[in-house]
Chain A
Amino acid sequence: MRRIGIDVGGTNTDAVLIEEGKVAGAVKAPTSEDVTTGILDALKALAATGVLKGRSIDGVMIGTTHFINAVVQRRHLTRVAALRLGMPASASLPPFCDWPEDLADLVRGGVWMVEGGHEYDGRPFMPLDEAAVSRAAREMKAAGLKAVAISSIFSPLDPSHERRAAELVVKELPDAAITCSSDLGRIGLLERENAGLLNAALADLARDTIAAFEKAIRDSGIAAPLFITQNDGTVAEAHQARRLPVYSFASGATNSMRGAAYLSGLSDAMVIDVGGTTTDVGQLKNGFPREANSVVKVGGVRTLFRMPDLLSIGLGGGSHVVLDPLKVGPVSVGYRLLKDGIAFGGRQLTTTDIAIALGILKLGDAGKVAHLDAATCRKVFAEAARMAEEAIDRMKTEAGDVPLIAVGGGAFLIPEKLPGVSQVIHVEHGDCANAVGAAIAQVSGECDQIFKDLSRTEALAAAQGIANDRAVAAGAARPSLTTIESEDMPLAYLPGNSVRVRVRVVGDVAAA
């Protein structure tokens, strides 16, 4: 298996070649404004090392923050028609009702609410008003809207109304880009609908970006399928990723954690990814990042879908250091580190300067930081360690000491011993763990549903079957499927032993 993993970060675009389970080559190129130039440059640099010669490449996996940046920066967004099935319920809280105004003004193309939807136990809430859906679609057409987000009450349990509505919309609007909220999972109408609206708003950008990625790969002379990495550490084939761009929102941090698991050989551990400005802490379970079970805000919009559970703190290799009283971060010199740091002739004391003074890093001009005495420097490192320790402790899900994998360019800030940590592991190629994580990604399937009157074992088995089928539909090889997450939550006030079960499985990409 020969795969190229690419991570497009804010500062650098990293590329690695993984061959027979080993990192055969790793390069960095500056990220470009148009994203694809940076990818081309990284691929060129990788080719220049000679590792791409010989056998063909099986896949190129790209992780990108392009889509989430578009939402945060309010750029390249498409106007969306919101179609909600579920009237007469929820009428007082229509789609977009909790969006920041500036973003709603950019994205809201129109709101249609019609009868439909289901109950928590699968009974229909109201029959789908097909005539009203068709009428809405004609009005969308008249308004020139082409991106449509469809949401329906309890659609994660029964997506049939959303699917039928999508068919009806396509009849009137054959070239519409349609997002069904059930494809994004999770119970919580407003948050799931919000994820669907954001997804639909990215329709044009996703189409263009993925076409540009495919062109960049072709232009590099590589004949391999393109995969886009997802929030949960898996990949989707390009055509599917184009349909669901929100699933790649947090793939950068996830890829780092997956890469850390791979490079260390550990599947259950805490991971600390220390960058230039921020440090992300997460937990690996079965080789995958633990998922957030709660609302995650994206660009000010409350969403609830597959996202890693991360804690970010303002600590990194470029963090400002104030000596009296001692303070590290959260402000950072960021990408100006090699200009603004004291050891590089600048005027801002940073954690990197401290590391140079202590002889931990060989960078810049050590003479410029020679005035810093060792005791002071050790105090700064102790403060950084304390910040890391607290973040790790917050993210642990059980008591007891756990191993910690330290990756990222600022990993030198993490000492060899930390309270609550059994062992600190630094890995080779840890500075490009994110690209490694992209290269090794698998395909997943998920089920999140309420089951009634089944034993716990039966409910888990039913959920497992659904998740397996979904993974295969997404391109996984069935024999390779393994369950990586399985949890059940009994529900208050629901009759008849109701239990909500969430199961996630992963498998290797099936041979084409």
Chain B
Amino acid sequence: MKLRELSLDDIESLAVGAWILGTGGGGNPYLPLLNMRLLYGQGHRVHLVDSGELADDALVGTVAGMGAPLIGQERLNDSLTLARAVTVMERHLGRRFDALMSMEIGGSNGIRPFMAAAHLGVPVVDSDTMGRAYPELQMTSVAVGGLSGHPVSLVDVRGFESVVHKVPSWKWAERIARKICTEYGSTAATCQPPRSGAEVKKWGIHGTTTKAIAIGAAVREAQRRHTDPVAAILSVEPGKLIYRGKVMDVARRTTEGFLRGVVRFDGLDEFRGSSGAINFQNEWIVAYRDGEPLVMTPDLICVLDSVTGEAIGSETIRYGQRVTVIALPPTHIFLTPKGLEHVGPRAFGYDLDFRSVFSP
């Protein structure tokens, strides 16, 4: 396998880019980044590998943290615990992984596989299963592909180890894993259902770590040069500028364990006089301009600080912030009828027919 060693600078960029791909959720990657800085300081290194390098019968472990972001601020992300979620799965399967990958490139989970990989000495595949952040386990490309939703390993730092051995569907995997996670204290290190090299090649969303690093590097470079970071992102990604404005109001509520609500904006610059709004369920789901739905899931809606170009999350967005909203294209896997069933606007309770902002 052809491996590429990541520099600490790459990982700093990855943190900025993954937070942007978090589309409002996924958790700020600061603590995972801090872990990586310390691991690099101790001499650990991580490597990236293209999915094309995987043998069809290679075994790939998918690493993710699960739980409430707030809990993660007290029970801090721990790299050895993530590594243990992987080894628990390996023991369950009776076989070692050849590589790891991200379940979710958006937010903290974009970095967590590297925390485990630093200890385990295996490469991380440059692919994930969301291409962004989503709130539930069935909202992945591998679920859309009909691949198995079990087994899932869940580990608590105190030594508890659970494996959801067999369930009939991804929704059941989500329900049972979520219960275990709650009992652990609403935080768990998980290893998601193992994938073969062939499955990753067919159903993975490819190049997403590289993409996050490129986005982050563009933003950081623009910050250093005092140039427009949003323009920098759009120069490396085929995205679309949707809106510039100022946050006028944020309404939040939690229902069924999700943070839901709506943010309203007043337009600035070329959007002066035009109103904006975005509905969210942890992540940004539907963006409206002048009352018309303009961008909707699975298209990526990214709300950025207009000055720094860094992402703003749905938990922390507040009145007065100057924001720029951009859209990025999703994986083609989510644009199929099956894909839209899992992650289209109706999967989030919106009676809207999906129309991509990128369709001609």
- Contact between chains at B75 and A92 (CB < 8 Å): no
- B322: A residues at CB distance < 8 A: 394
- Contact between chains at A189 and B258 (CB < 8 Å): no
- Contact between chains at B257 and A493 (CB < 8 Å): yes
**How does the 8 Å CB contact mask read for A140-170 relative to B, with 1 for contact and 0 for none?**
0000000000000110000000000000000
Does B185 lie at the interface of the complex (its beta carbon under 8 Å from any beta carbon of A)? yes
CB distance from B121 to the nearest CB of A (A): 17
Residues of B244-264 at the interface with A, using a CB-CB cut-off of 8 Å, are 246, 248-249, 252-254, 257-259
CB distance from B34 to the nearest CB of A (A): 6
Of the listed stretches B1-9, B89-97, B103-111, B313-321, chain A binds B313-321
- Contact between chains at A92 and B73 (CB < 8 Å): no
A489 to B158, CA, bound (A): 29
- For chain A, what secondary structure do more than half of its interface residues adopt (helix, strand, loop), or is it mixed? loop
Does B324 lie at the interface of the complex (its beta carbon under 8 Å from any beta carbon of A)? no
- Contact between chains at B75 and A491 (CB < 8 Å): no
A93 to B182, CA, bound (A): 23
CB distance from A189 to the nearest CB of B (A): 5
CB distance from B36 to the nearest CB of A (A): 10
CB distance from B258 to the nearest CB of A (A): 6
- Contact between chains at A92 and B38 (CB < 8 Å): yes
- Contact between chains at A493 and B68 (CB < 8 Å): yes
CB distance from A390 to the nearest CB of B (A): 10
- A499: B residues at CB distance < 8 A: 254
A90 to B185, CA, bound (A): 14
CB distance from B184 to the nearest CB of A (A): 9
Does B71 lie at the interface of the complex (its beta carbon under 8 Å from any beta carbon of A)? yes
- Contact between chains at A492 and B78 (CB < 8 Å): no
- Contact between chains at A396 and B70 (CB < 8 Å): no
- A395: B residues at CB distance < 8 A: 320
Does A88 lie at the interface of the complex (its beta carbon under 8 Å from any beta carbon of B)? yes
Does A484 lie at the interface of the complex (its beta carbon under 8 Å from any beta carbon of B)? no
Does B297 lie at the interface of the complex (its beta carbon under 8 Å from any beta carbon of A)? no
**How does the 8 Å CB contact mask read for A86-124 relative to B, with 1 for contact and 0 for none?**
101111110001100000000000000000000110010
Residues of A76-92 at the interface with B, using a CB-CB cut-off of 8 Å, are 86, 88-92
- Contact between chains at A489 and B319 (CB < 8 Å): no
Interface centre among B70, B74, B76, B158 (most CB of A within 10 A): B74
Does B279 lie at the interface of the complex (its beta carbon under 8 Å from any beta carbon of A)? no
Does A29 lie at the interface of the complex (its beta carbon under 8 Å from any beta carbon of B)? no
Does B223 lie at the interface of the complex (its beta carbon under 8 Å from any beta carbon of A)? no
- Contact between chains at A97 and B34 (CB < 8 Å): yes
- Contact between chains at B34 and A90 (CB < 8 Å): no
Does B209 lie at the interface of the complex (its beta carbon under 8 Å from any beta carbon of A)? no
Indicate whether A91 sits within 8 Å of B80 (C-beta atoms), given known contacts A492-B259, A495-B257: yes
- Contact between chains at A92 and B258 (CB < 8 Å): no
Does B169 lie at the interface of the complex (its beta carbon under 8 Å from any beta carbon of A)? no
Does A291 lie at the interface of the complex (its beta carbon under 8 Å from any beta carbon of B)? no
- Contact between chains at A494 and B319 (CB < 8 Å): no
- Contact between chains at B253 and A120 (CB < 8 Å): no
Residues of A221-274 at the interface with B, using a CB-CB cut-off of 8 Å, are none
Does A187 lie at the interface of the complex (its beta carbon under 8 Å from any beta carbon of B)? yes
- Contact between chains at A97 and B74 (CB < 8 Å): no
- Contact between chains at B73 and A120 (CB < 8 Å): no
Does A344 lie at the interface of the complex (its beta carbon under 8 Å from any beta carbon of B)? no
The 8 A-B pairs of least Cβ separation, nearest first, read A490-B254, A492-B259, A493-B68, A90-B76, A89-B75, A119-B185, A188-B73, A397-B319
A395 to B322, CA, bound (A): 11
- A418: B residues at CB distance < 8 A: none
- Contact between chains at A97 and B185 (CB < 8 Å): no
- Contact between chains at B70 and A491 (CB < 8 Å): yes
Does B234 lie at the interface of the complex (its beta carbon under 8 Å from any beta carbon of A)? no
CB distance from B251 to the nearest CB of A (A): 11
Does B207 lie at the interface of the complex (its beta carbon under 8 Å from any beta carbon of A)? no
A397 to B257, CA, bound (A): 27
